[in-house]
Structure 1
Amino acid sequence: MQIKDNCVVAMHYTLTNDEGQVLDSSEGRDPLKFLQGAHNIIIGLEKAMEGKQVGDAFDVTVEPEEAYGIRHEQMIQKVPKSAFQGVDDIEVGMSFQAQTEQGPVPVTITEVTGDVVTVDGNHELAGQRLHFKVSIEEVREATAEEQEHNHAH
């Protein structure tokens, strides 16, 4: 069976950046399962899956625009430490949900200088070209429930 919309796909993968550093992998774990066409994975990888079948192994490079997007400098802001009510020790690398007019946005602390905290709302992989090594382990039709819920069970 070839991969098409409304199929459940199970794949093993290794994700690397341009420098060849492994960013994520399913090695030693169960294959990643997702519902094709439901945008459960980045669009560039989903497009590369189209037409593949069990046993296929391939490499694909996904540009930032079809991965986690380009970096937006306006997503980096300096805010007063007082904005973090109830948090005693604010440290670089901590993540929070910022409340914005568009709803909650995950942000990561990138710098703390005195009473000023720099937060970055970009995804940590925004602006990066991503390289995937993929092997297709399973392809099946999604159940009605999976299609209704928009993800694999």
Structure 2
Amino acid sequence: MTEIEENDTLFLHFVSRRPGGEVLEDSTEGEPQKITLGKKMINPAFEEALLGHLEGDTVCVTLPPEKAYGKYNKRLVFPLRRSKLKLTEEPHVGDFMTIPIKGKRYSLMVTEVTPDKIIVDGNHPYAGETISYEITVVKNLGHEEKEEA
């Protein structure tokens, strides 16, 4: 077996966890994810950790908030006036709403609902958390030949 190098194409499984061990995502029940190193398909910290490993290895990586889903930003929590929204159904805490802001659409989580307003949070649900990952190299295809057109 050869060591994993830059530009190798890999099939990976991953499990991500919060510090207490709660599983956030687990790909091991499905098909492995196909990625090519150096193509910005996965977090750069994962790519760096995989280099030099072998097919079959499991690599553990722990990312602080700023390298995982970002630090929690209190400014991304704000109220929306119901009178300005075109609601088709009543939102509930934990729901996600897609809202246009300055020409872009954002997915925001509802954190509070009152008669006059809806408080939303634009942070990623795991923002501010340290996340641990177990990445298993299922297969290393090496440098795949480019398909001819």
Structure 1 unpaired stretches of 5+: 146-153
State how far apart, in whole Å, the 2-side matches of 1:22 and 1:124 are.
14
Q: Provide closer, same or farther for how the CA distance between residues 67 and 43 of structure 1 changes in structure 2, counting only shifts above 3 A.
A: farther
Say which is worse superposed, 5-14 or 23-32, in terms of deviation.
5-14
Rg larger for? 2
Say whether 1:45 aligns with 2:46: yes
Q: Secondary structure at the match of 1:48?
A: helix
Deviation at 1:25, TM superposition (A): 0.5
Q: Provide closer, same or farther for how the CA distance between residues 106 and 46 of structure 1 changes in structure 2, counting only shifts above 3 A.
A: farther
Q: Deviations over 1:31-63 (max 9, x none)?
A: 122232233223332332233231211211111
- Structure 1 residues 57-72: aligned runs within 5 Å: 57-72=58-73
2:49–2:59: 8 Å Cα contact kept in structure 1?
no
Deviation at 1:124, TM superposition (A): 0.8
State how far apart, in whole Å, the 2-side matches of 1:70 and 1:91 are.
25
Q: Deviations over 1:48-87 (max 9, x none)?
A: 2233231211211111111111111111111112343142
For residue 11 of structure 1, what is the amino acid of its counterpart?
A: L
Q: Secondary structure at the match of 2:31?
A: coil
1:98–1:105: 8 Å Cα contact kept in structure 2?
yes
For residue 64 of structure 2, what is the amino acid of its counterpart?
A: E
State how far apart, in whole Å, the 2-side matches of 1:2 and 1:102 are.
46
Percent identity of equivalent pairs: 27
1:9–1:34: 8 Å Cα contact kept in structure 2?
yes
Q: Provide closer, same or farther for how the CA distance between residues 113 and 86 of structure 1 changes in structure 2, counting only shifts above 3 A.
A: closer
The match for 1:88 is 89
What TM-score do the two structures reach when normalised by structure 1? 0.82
Say which is worse superposed, 100-109 or 58-67, in terms of deviation.
100-109
State how far apart, in whole Å, the 2-side matches of 1:74 and 1:105 are.
15
Structure 2 unpaired stretches of 5+: none
The match for 2:129 is 128
| Number of corresponding residues | 145
1:44–1:67: 8 Å Cα contact kept in structure 2?
no
The match for 1:100 is 101
The match for 2:20 is 19
